[in-house]
Structure 1
Amino acid sequence: MPERNIEFGKYGARGLKGHEAVARRLDSLAGFVATPVTARRGLLARLHYLTRTDHSLRAAREAGLTVTDRTLRAWLAGDRSPSRANLARIETAYRTVRRNNVARYLLARLNREGRGTRVEFHPLNQSQVPRPRQRALSYRTLNVRHWDRIVQAWAAGDEAALDEAWVTDAVVDLGSEWGQYEYVTSIGFAA
């Protein structure tokens, strides 16, 4: 695609790809458990979420939590503690299941029956770029009306699809200078 940055940061610019900022914002809207999985409270919260229903347990198993029911009961009772590898699997399964459960709700909130959601683009940080090489960038806003592919890629954890969906469904609508907002300091929107 034209306008894609090939050597981002060559002259000292700092920022992150727009789709990464969107994924972070969607993660914050998803409302993950704040307590780390290494703490007993965080572990129990995740395990209760993953074992609450048969559907959740099936989704957790599909997401990589492949321990027996007996082991799960022992973890919930506090008789045994999961290994570091199992803690990582629990965290991955929890985030995957939570994203899938919240995706439909977020999609409805972001699309707002066709009205869309206003998105704020905060330009990249050029404070370390020498003056002659700095570009004139400004804070921009845009109303994104189609979130379907963006939320679907986020829920699936597919970074390449999220990047493609973000660029084609949102950023291109900024007009001829959309390539300047491929990297940003942050992306802001509410749902």
Structure 2
Amino acid sequence: MPERTNEFGKYGARGIKGHEAVARQLDQLAGFIATPITARRGLMARLHYLTRTSHARTAARKAGLTVTDRTLKAWLAGQRKPSKQNLHHIETAYRTVRRHNVARYLTSRLNREGRGTRVEFHPLNQSQVSRPHQRVVSFRALNVRRWDPVVAAWAADDEQALDDAWFGDVTVELGSEYGSYEYVSNIGFAA
């Protein structure tokens, strides 16, 4: 059984952890607001998303947006601007609530009633590694049928759980060389 990589990049290999690439792809599928929060339009879109219903307001408070209703109304009316710290809290709360809201939909979409979704593993970049230290790692594809633990860990923003779910449940399906895909240049899938 392959072990985890201890000194990634020691010989010049470049890449990212597989679970980070999966999180990026899931973020892209979640469809976050593209306009930056520093622009008025981006701020207003996030605030409307977090305040349009009582359920959304409750979720925003759980996610760390703990300002008063009066302050929220002033921000929405344009009478006051949030501080940098509050902008960070708004962005964090927005991403947390959005992930929670789309998690069930993404799980269903990726599981596709048991048919799963094809995932492409693009190997790490070894162009800077000297020949004797290079691994033989090639492009691989795998049909992942059980996305529940991966999406749940992503929605909870729990990096360790996402790593365990991705590396321990999904990457293992690649066979005996699954340890070579702990680091990748990209993970691709679409649903």
TM interval, shorter chain, is: over 0.9
Separation in 2 of the partners of 1:143 and 1:97? 29
Aligned equivalent of 1:45: 45
Aligned equivalent of 2:27: 27
- Correspondence list, 1:48-87, <5 A: 48-87=48-87
**Alignment gaps of 5+ in structure 1:** none
Residue 107 (structure 2) pairs with residue 93 (structure 1): no
Q: Per the alignment, in what secondary structure is the counterpart of residue 4 of structure 1?
A: coil
Aligned equivalent of 1:138: 138
8 Å Cα contact 2:2-2:178 kept in structure 1 = no
Q: CA deviation at 1:137?
A: 1.2
Q: Per the alignment, in what secondary structure is the counterpart of residue 187 of structure 1?
A: strand
Q: CA deviation at 1:43?
A: 0.1
Aligned equivalent of 1:153: 153
* Distance verdict in 2 for CA 1:2–1:138, change over 3 Å: closer
Q: CA deviation at 1:2?
A: 3.9
Separation in 2 of the partners of 1:105 and 1:124? 31
Deviation per residue, 1:48-105 (Å, 9 max, x gap):
0000111000000000000000100000000000000000000000000000000000
Q: CA deviation at 1:3?
A: 2.3
Separation in 2 of the partners of 1:169 and 1:97? 26
8 Å Cα contact 1:3-1:178 kept in structure 2 = no
Q: CA deviation at 1:132?
A: 1.3
Runs of 4+ aligned residues of structure 1 deviating over 2 Å after TM superposition are none
8 Å Cα contact 2:120-2:139 kept in structure 1 = yes
- Percent identity, aligned pairs only, is 76
Give the alignment's TM-score, normalised by structure 1.
Answer: 0.99
**Alignment gaps of 5+ in structure 2:** none
How many pairs are equivalent? 191
Residue 110 (structure 2) pairs with residue 110 (structure 1): yes
Separation in 1 of the partners of 2:181 and 2:2? 13
8 Å Cα contact 1:32-1:98 kept in structure 2 = yes
Q: CA deviation at 1:183?
A: 0.2
C-alpha RMSD over aligned residues: 0.8
Q: CA deviation at 1:182?
A: 0.4
Give the alignment's TM-score, normalised by structure 2.
Answer: 0.99
Separation in 2 of the partners of 1:175 and 1:6? 21
Aligned equivalent of 1:179: 179
Separation in 2 of the partners of 1:141 and 1:8? 23
Q: Per the alignment, in what secondary structure is the counterpart of residue 81 of structure 2?
A: coil
Q: CA deviation at 1:168?
A: 1.9
Residue 129 (structure 2) pairs with residue 129 (structure 1): yes
Aligned equivalent of 1:10: 10
Separation in 2 of the partners of 1:96 and 1:79? 26
Q: CA deviation at 1:136?
A: 1.4
Separation in 2 of the partners of 1:99 and 1:124? 28
